[in-house]
Structure 1
Amino acid sequence: MDKNISRRTVLLRGLQVPVAGSLLLGLAACDSSGNGSQEITAVCADPEDMTSAQESVRKTLRYTELSSDPAKTCSGCAFFSGAAGGCGSCGIFDGNAVNPAGFCDSWSAAS
C-alpha cells in the first residue's frame, strides 16, 4: 500500500495547527466570568472625529478610556466636567469628550 502525501497537504496541516492554537489561546484570554475585568461603558474619544493635534495631545498624555487605577479616573479629576449621556469633558483636552472611567498622565485630584 503506497500512500503519497503531497507537499500541499503537509503545508496546509502545518498551518492549521498554529492557527488553531492561537485561536484557543485567544479564547482562553477572554474572561467571560467577569472576575477581575472592567467594562468600558462608552467610548467617548473617537479618533475619527479628532484633529491630528487633539489626537497627539491624547497620545502624549497617554489617555485611556479605562483607568487601571480605580482611585484615579477622569470623573475624580480637577479638569473633568460631567455631562449627561455618560461622557464628560476635560479642560486639558480643550473641553473635548472623555470617558468618566478614563485616565491620563495629567490627572489631578479634584478638590
Structure 2
Amino acid sequence: MFSDYENNGKMWSGKGTRQRKKTIVFSERFDDPPAVHVAMSLLDLDKGTNVRADAQAKNISTTGFDLIFRTWDDTRVARVRLSWIAMGALVDEESWDLY
C-alpha cells in the first residue's frame, strides 16, 4: 500500500492521526455490495514505538471500495501491504427479473 521509510514520508516521520486510502475497482461488478475482508500481509514498524494500526474496507459498492490504513500517536510505520478478498454474487448476464 505504501513505503514511507525511503522518502521519510508522513507515516514514518509524522505524529498524530495519519491515514492512507487506495480506491479498489473490482474486475467484475457484483450483484449487490459484497462482503470484503481486509488483512495486513506486511507491517513494518519502528521497534521504538507502540503498534497502532487499523485496516478497513470503506464505501463498499458493487464496483469497488476504499482500502484504508490508519495509525495514530507516535507510531512510525515504514511499510504496509494489505490483502483483501471480496465475496458475493456476480452479475449474471443471463439472469433477468420477471417482476
Q: Going by fraction, where is strand more abundant, 1 or 2?
A: 2
TM-score range relative to shorter protein: under 0.3
Q: Going by fraction, where is helix more abundant, 1 or 2?
A: 1
Q: Which has the larger radius of gyration?
A: 1
Q: Which has the higher contact order (CA 8 A, sep 6+)?
A: 2
TM-score with structure 1 setting the length: 0.20
